[in-house]
Structure 1
C-alpha cells in the first residue's frame, strides 16, 4: 500500500478537474477538547483557495477560531473492482481523492464574501446567478476560506 501512495498521484490538471466537479468535501478541524471534528460541506475552488459557507456560529466556526489548521478531503468512488475476485479481501475500489492541508479563516471582507458566494451560486444554482444577493444576507452568512499549503491527489484503477 505504501508504494502505491507514491506512484498513483493525480496530476495537477486532474486535481483541478476534481475540485471543480466535486460537490461535497469534508473539512476536519480541532476542538478545544482535542477531538477532531469533520463536517461535509458544499464548496468551491477558485484563486487557489477553498471557499464554503454556512451559519456564522457553531462547532466548525468555534474550532476555526480556536485553531486555524484544517484538513480538507474530496473523493469520488468510481467502481468496485471485484470481477474475477474469489476472496472478499481482494476486492478493491477505483477512486480519485484529494487531501488538502491549510489554514482556515472566517472571511470578514464584504467583497470577498460576495465573490465567494457568487461562485457558490454559479456552481450549484447557476439558474439563479442573475439574482441579486441582499447585502444583509451576505453580511449574515459565514464564509470560510482555506488557504492551501499542501495538496495531494491520489487515484487507484
Structure 2
C-alpha cells in the first residue's frame, strides 16, 4: 500500500467490517476486463460465503478461473472542505475502513455445507430470526438447496485500509473533533472513535 499510515493489522476491525457490512464486491477474471458484482456475504470458518444462481455469468467465470478478489468498504464521515476554514475544495475527504481480500472461490456441492453457509448468511442479514433454521434435513429447504449455488472464497491474503485522519496534526484533529461533534450525526460520533483509535 502506497500510504503506509493507512495500513492496519487488527483482527478486531477485520471482524467488525466483515460482520457489519451488508455487501461487498466480488471481482472475477473475464477475458479483457475484470467482472465485478456486488453481493451479500457472510464470514464463516475463515471464508467469505455468498450465493447465487446455478447458471449465469458469475458461476461460469468461477468455473473457468477460481482466482478472485473481494472488497468491502465501511463508510465513516464525509469531511466537507469548509471544515478546514478554507474556500478551496481540496481538503474535502471521505473517511472509511476497507478490506481487500484475494483468494480462490470454490462451489459448495454438499447439501449440509450449503445449508450451513446459507444459515450463516441468514443469521447475519436477519438476526431477529422469524424463519425456520436452514438445515438439509428440513423438507422446506430441499428444493432450494438443489437450485441455489453456494460459494466459498478461501482467503489467501488480505489488506486492511483505514483512512481516519492519520496524516493530520494534533491541532487539526481537535478542530475536526469539534466540527464533527457540532454536526452530531451518529456516524460522526463513530468517526471520532475511529480517529482516536487509529490516528
TM-score after normalising by structure 1? 0.91
Paired residue for 1:71? 69
Measure, in 2, the Cα distance between the counterparts of 1:122 and 1:153: 25
| Partner secondary structure for residue 90 of structure 1 | coil
Separation in 1, partners of 2:106, 2:68: 10
Pair 1:13 & 2:12 matched: yes
Q: Which runs of 4+ in 1 moved over 4 A?
A: none
Q: Which residue of 2 aligns with 1:146?
A: 153
Question: How many aligned positions are there?
Answer: 155
The two structures, once aligned, show a CA RMSD in angstroms of 1.7
Aligned pairs for 1:38-117 within 5 A: 38-82=36-80, 83-84=83-84, 85-117=86-118
Deviations 1:68-95 (A, max 9, x none): 0000000022111221243212211110
What TM-score does the superposition give when structure 2 sets the normalisation length?
0.72
Confirm whether residue 137 of structure 1 aligns to residue 144 of structure 2: yes
| Native 8 Å contact 1:80 1:94 kept in 2 | yes
Structure with larger RCO (C-alpha < 8 A, sep 6+) = 1
Unaligned runs of 5+ in 2: 165-199
Which of the two has greater strand per residue?
1
Match of 1:27 in 2: 26
Deviation string, structure 1 residues 90-113 (Cα, Å, up to 9, x no partner)? 211110000000001211111110
Structure ranking higher in helix proportion:
2
